[in-house]
Amino acid sequence: MIAAIIICAVILNWVLRRLLMRAVTQIVRGVKRAQDVDTTSEMQSAPYVNARAVQRTRTLGTVGRVLITWIIAIIAMILILNQLGVNLGAVLTSAGIVAAGLAFGAQNLVKDILNGIFMVFEDQFGVGDYVTTGEISGTVEDVGIRVTQVRAIDGTLWFIRNGEILTLGNSSQGWGRALVDVTVDAHQDLGNVSELMVESAQALMRSEKYARKVTGEPEVLGLESVFGDRATLRLAVRTRPEAQWEVQRGIRAEIRRRFKDADIKLADELPKQQGGQK
């Protein structure tokens, strides 16, 4: 009888894992084929997007296989103990206490793994996304169950335990917004300055390099602050995700050029800390 239980468990485990792996393989292949078709696509992050789908499938596949094996093993063991006439209640109690003890001792491990699985399920980010968590910003290189690998801009590869990711900012989803604060000498006509700022951004949008990256109309939000001889204006424009930094630099350069031509004076930099505001 016990032998039968063991054999059934092994076969069931093998079959279920097999089915899961086949499903994973098919999804991965499907993604890859789509990738081959998509090669003419011009989205810069295409290989990343596919790598992401593939990796997400594989990660969940791994988790699934481990779960299948554990659940079958535990059920089989309970059945066998039952056959051997062991008191089920006592065993459950013991197991519960041991589980609690282990859960406590390895608290951080459990926290890391649970958070990792949920992050993959919720698709918070994928390989190639530019993310920020705590004081670390960079491109995701690997999404793991326990640790996530993020490559910072200076090439440092950061290993971040998933349980330490309390809040996570993903700059590669949907859209970005380029924000340019310009501080000018306040004695000038600010209406004129605003106009020039918008024109600069519009000129950028017409340029070949930036046309595809800017997706909205530029807008001067207004006077962020005004002091004796300094007035700060903020320009905002929607961009493709991850393009906001490049567009900001482009707009800054363009604004500077036009201000020079129009003889508008910029104010000096103050050595202060800046807080945020919408």
Q: Does 36 bind its own copies (CB under 8 A)?
A: no
Site size for its own copies, by CB under 8 A? 108
Q: Does 207 bind its own copies (CB under 8 A)?
A: no
Q: Rounded to an integer, what distance in angstroms lies between the CA atom of residue 49 and that of residue 57?
A: 12
By CB neighbour count within 10 A (0-12 exposed, 13-18 middle, 19+ buried), where does 190 fall? middle
Q: Does 158 bind its own copies (CB under 8 A)?
A: yes
Please state the closest distance from residue 29 (CB atom) to its own copies, in A: 28
Q: Does 219 bind its own copies (CB under 8 A)?
A: no
C-beta closer to its own copies: residue 38 or 246: 246
Encoding tokens for residue 189? 């006509």
Query: Which parts of 63-92 interact with its own copies (CB under 8 A)?
Result: 86-92
Please state the closest distance from residue 161 (CB atom) to its own copies, in A: 6
Please state the closest distance from residue 276 (CB atom) to its own copies, in A: 5
Q: Does 39 bind its own copies (CB under 8 A)?
A: no
| The binder of its own copies chosen from 7, 73, 226, 262 (CB under 8 A) | 226
SS3 of residue 82 by DSSP: helix
Question: Are 133 and 160 a contacting pair, CB within 8 Å?
Answer: yes
Q: Rounded to an integer, what distance in angstroms lies between the CA atom of residue 267 and that of residue 233?
A: 12
| The binder of its own copies chosen from 44, 108, 192, 207 (CB under 8 A) | 108
Please state the closest distance from residue 147 (CB atom) to its own copies, in A: 6
HSE, side-chain direction, 13 A CA sphere, residue 117: 12
| The binder of its own copies chosen from 39, 85, 208, 228 (CB under 8 A) | 228
Site string for its own copies, 122-151 (x = CB under 8 A): x-x-----x-x-xxxx------x-xx---x
C-beta closer to its own copies: residue 38 or 141: 141
| The binder of its own copies chosen from 21, 168, 198, 203 (CB under 8 A) | 168
SS3 of residue 84 by DSSP: coil
Encoding tokens for residue 11? 């076969």
Query: Which parts of 235-274 interact with its own copies (CB under 8 A)?
Result: 236, 238-239, 241, 244-246, 249-250, 252-253, 255-256, 265-274
Which residues, in sequence order, are bridge partners of residue 161? 147
HSE, side-chain direction, 13 A CA sphere, residue 245: 5
What is the rounded radius of gyration, in angstroms, for the C-alpha atoms of the chain?
A: 28
C-beta closer to its own copies: residue 38 or 48: 48
Q: Does 203 bind its own copies (CB under 8 A)?
A: no
Question: Are 125 and 119 a contacting pair, CB within 8 Å?
Answer: yes
Rounded to a whole number, what is the distance in angstroms from the first to the last CA of the chain?
69
HSE, side-chain direction, 13 A CA sphere, residue 254: 21
Q: Does 14 bind its own copies (CB under 8 A)?
A: no
Please state the closest distance from residue 46 (CB atom) to its own copies, in A: 20
Q: Which amino acid is at 57?
A: T
Encoding tokens for residue 119? 């992050």
Q: Rounded to an integer, what distance in angstroms lies between the CA atom of residue 168 and that of residue 177?
A: 18
Q: Does 209 bind its own copies (CB under 8 A)?
A: no
